[in-house]
Amino acid sequence: MKVIMKVVEMLAWFDTNGKPHPIRFRTQDNNGKNIIIKLDGILNSAIERHAGNQMVRFDCRVTIKNTQRELQLKYETTSCKWYLSKM
Amino acid sequence: MPKKCYFHVDVNSAFLAWEAAWRIQHGDPVDIREIPSVVGGTQATRHGIVLAKSTLAKKLYKAQTGESIFGLKQRAPNILVVPPRHGLYEIASQAFIDHLSDFSPKVERFSVDEAFVEYTGLEKLYGEPEQAAKKLSASIKQKLGFTVNIGISSNKLLAKMAGELEKPDKVHTIWPEEVPQKMWPLPIGELYMVGRKTEEKLKARGIFTIGDLARCKENMLRSSFKSQGSLLWNFANGRCFDTGKAGAANFQGMLPNNKETINAKGLGNSTTIAFDVEDMACAHRVLLSLSETVGSRLRENGYRAKTIHVSYATSEFKRSGKQKTYHFPCASTTEIFSRAVEVFDSMWSGEPMRQMGVWTGGFSIYNNAQVSMFSKAWKQEAVDNAIDKMRKKYGNHAAFRAVFLNSDIRHMIGGTASLRNFPYGG
């Protein structure tokens, strides 16, 4: 997987413990065209606190053009931003 | 009684390491710790000095903490200069302390990037001190993304000295029996509480290493350095006790962390001003702004202060300072300001100033302090407390004195963790 770290628009739900669960996100491809990627499943999630900055990391499985791939999303709790971290 | 054991945990190139960890977390492919880089302020606001340097910057260009960015740039035009982000450092520092608090119940913050951890009695939980320190160091690296040096010993002074032995990412011990081999060969300047001036004086007396100092007669040192002489002599022999000096460390036991006891010896703020202050009115505004910061910190920590110290540096870097102790302790901004003005007016002769500072000491606990029957400071303190609450809830800019309206001087200067230079918040 390659590091991308790009801010994306995310549709997610939060459970009663405040934990986010991403559903699908919108980003732009190389031509600047909007693409929507739906998550097939979350394989793993963990909290990281590098330099004290808390982010929730999600390892996800997605299907893009009939090909299954894995990607990593991050949710930054202080700024409420979602990042496409690696793909 | 289990054998006393303390860890001194020190973040390697703290500001640079925190910046690097933050950048890597945000997808930066370059680790700024592995290239020649420094963290430094901007020359426009005259904060242009090196705050932290990478190992390569030190090796290749001999970058020194505290030297000017301008001078460094002349030697190394391609060096990467990263602006400081004190808000980030505050968060990273707190995460560091929180992580240590998960490890041991007794943690004492020593500075923004250093802390003492008491390991006494934890052997059954984590094993031998060295192994435990290695585990702690690895967990900090993995979870927080930066490396630390850990010094281990039976007292805090030796633990601190051990932490300074070799960097980065190392664990060292200086047990009392190891003092002659590990500590005595070090140059005298490495000893805690030996500054540049003391180093010069000691060298003039033929004392070049810590061992030389330890082998001296205490009486001889006392005659030249008074009480500081015996303090240093004890330090050189690996014995520590309360330094008794304001602003210096207390090496006896761990400090309890609550508001019923006084942990700090002094509390103050200083600022370098972007222009030279030449008139009295402007100087008073800077003092007021510093008093706001100092006052709010005093109240936050639950102290009142009796002693006030005002210092300044002229545009030629000549430093002056004066202090006065009053009968009644205070914590109100207005009272601190009026005392600071009284001290300042009695010493300033009109030379242009680039740096000013206000420091308070002689603390009493806020709620137990003897207050004056005739002063109306308590009324002012009620206002201050209300403003503190407002500022806590809505930010420091929620309320400020009208004198700072359209002024070049911010209403609370000194202290560095302004969220303005931090990417989030607001």
Whether residue A48 lies within 8 A of chain B, CB to CB, comes out as yes
- Residue of higher predicted confidence among B378 and B270: B270
Place of tokens 């207050």: B371
Provide, rounded to the nearest whole percent, the portion of chain B with pLDDT above 90.
27
Quickly state the pLDDT bin for B35 (edges 50, 70, 90).
very high
Distance CA B190, CA B236 (A): 10
- At B417 the pLDDT is 46
Which of B406, B400, B376, B371 has its CA nearest to residue B387? B400
**Distance from first CA to last CA of chain B, Å, rounded?**
51
Distance CA B227, CA B190 (A): 20
C-beta neighbour count of B45 within 10 angstroms: 11
Whether residue A78 lies within 8 A of chain B, CB to CB, comes out as yes
For B158-232, strand residue ranges (E) read 171-173
Residue B159's domain comprises: 1-179
Q: Which residues of chain A does B88 touch, with a Cβ-Cβ cutoff of 8 Å?
A: 51-53
- 3-class secondary structure per residue, B296-331: HHHHHHCEEEEEEEEEEEECCCCEEEEEEEEEEEEC
B257, B284, B319: which is the final residue of a domain? B257
- 3-class secondary structure per residue, A56-87: EEEEEEEEECCEEEEEEEEEECCCCEEEEEEC
- At B426 the pLDDT is 27
Q: What is the pLDDT of residues A27-67, one digit of tens each?
A: 998 888 999 999 999 999 999 899 999 999 999 999 988 89
CA distance A15 to chain B (A): 24
Average pLDDT rounded to a whole number, residues B47-55: 84
Supply the CATH number for residue B236's domain.
Answer: 1.10.150.20
Quickly state the pLDDT bin for B247 (edges 50, 70, 90).
very low
- At B252 the pLDDT is 57
CA distance A42 to chain B (A): 20
- B171/B100 same-domain check: yes
Domain-embedded: residue B391: yes
Q: What is the ipTM of this complex?
A: 0.83
> A72 with A59: CB under 8 angstroms?
yes
- At B418 the pLDDT is 44
Which of A58, A50, A45 has its CA nearest to residue A85? A58
Place of tokens 């053009």: A65
- B373/B415 same-domain check: yes
Tell me if A78 and B29 make a contact (CB, 8 A cut-off). no
Average pLDDT rounded to a whole number, residues B391-405: 86
What are the residues facing A64 on neighbouring strands? A67
Residue B44 has pLDDT above 70, yes or no: no
Identify the closest residue of chain B to A46 by CA–CA distance: B143
Domain-embedded: residue B426: no
B206, B233, B257: which is the final residue of a domain? B257
DSSP single-letter state for residue B357: E
Residue B245 has pLDDT above 70, yes or no: no
Q: Phi/psi class of residue A18: alpha, beta or left (left: φ > 0; alpha: ψ in -120 to 50)?
A: left
The widest CA-to-CA distance across chain B, in whole angstroms, is 64
CA distance A78 to chain B (A): 7
Q: Which residues of chain A does B27 touch, with a Cβ-Cβ cutoff of 8 Å?
A: 3-5, 83, 85
- B143/B216 same-domain check: no
- B346/B383 same-domain check: yes
Residue of A1, A2, A49 to mutate when probing chain B, most B C-beta within 10 A? A49
Quickly state the pLDDT bin for A83 (edges 50, 70, 90).
very high
Counting the structural domains of chain A, the total is 1
Tell me if B91 and A53 make a contact (CB, 8 A cut-off). yes
Counting the structural domains of chain B, the total is 3
Whether residue B425 lies within 8 A of chain A, CB to CB, comes out as yes
CA–CA distances in Å: residue B182 to residues B62, B190, B210, B211, B292: 26, 12, 10, 10, 46
Pairing, β B319-330 against β B303-314: antiparallel
Distance CA B256, CA B253 (A): 9
Q: Which residues of chain B does A85 touch, with a Cβ-Cβ cutoff of 8 Å?
A: 27
Average pLDDT rounded to a whole number, residues B70-74: 86
Whether residue A12 lies within 8 A of chain B, CB to CB, comes out as no
Highest mean pLDDT among A47-61, B105-119, B217-231: A47-61
Whether residue A84 lies within 8 A of chain B, CB to CB, comes out as no
Report the Cα B171 to chain-centroid distance in Å.
23
Residue A19's domain comprises: 3-86
- B216/B238 same-domain check: yes
Range of weakest confidence among B32-46, B78-92, B137-151, B280-294: B32-46
- B49/B160 same-domain check: yes
Q: What is the pLDDT of residues B336-353, one digit of tens each?
A: 999 999 999 999 988 899
Quickly state the pLDDT bin for B254 (edges 50, 70, 90).
low
DSSP single-letter state for residue B205: T
At B124, which helix (H) or strand (E)?
Answer: helix B123-126
Q: Which residues of chain B does A48 touch, with a Cβ-Cβ cutoff of 8 Å?
A: 25, 143
Quickly state the pLDDT bin for B255 (edges 50, 70, 90).
low
Provide, rounded to the nearest whole percent, the portion of chain B with pLDDT above 70.
90
CA–CA distances in Å: residue B298 to residues A49, B194, B265, B291: 30, 29, 12, 10
Average pLDDT rounded to a whole number, residues B383-387: 91
- At A2 the pLDDT is 87
Residue B397 has pLDDT above 60, yes or no: yes
- At B183 the pLDDT is 87
Distance CA B101, CA B107 (A): 6
Q: Phi/psi class of residue B86: alpha, beta or left (left: φ > 0; alpha: ψ in -120 to 50)?
A: alpha
- B196/B326 same-domain check: no
Quickly state the pLDDT bin for B164 (edges 50, 70, 90).
confident
Whether residue A18 lies within 8 A of chain B, CB to CB, comes out as no
Residues of B designated as active site: 114
Supply the CATH number for residue B386's domain.
Answer: 3.30.1490.100
- Residue of higher predicted confidence among A20 and B381: A20
Report the mean per-residue pLDDT for chain B: 84
Report the mean per-residue pLDDT for chain A: 92
- B112/B200 same-domain check: no
Of the candidates A5, A51, A78, the beta carbon closest to that of B145 is on: A51
B179, B204, B237: which is the final residue of a domain? B179
- B41/B166 same-domain check: yes
Average pLDDT rounded to a whole number, residues B228-239: 84
Distance CA B288, CA B282 (A): 10
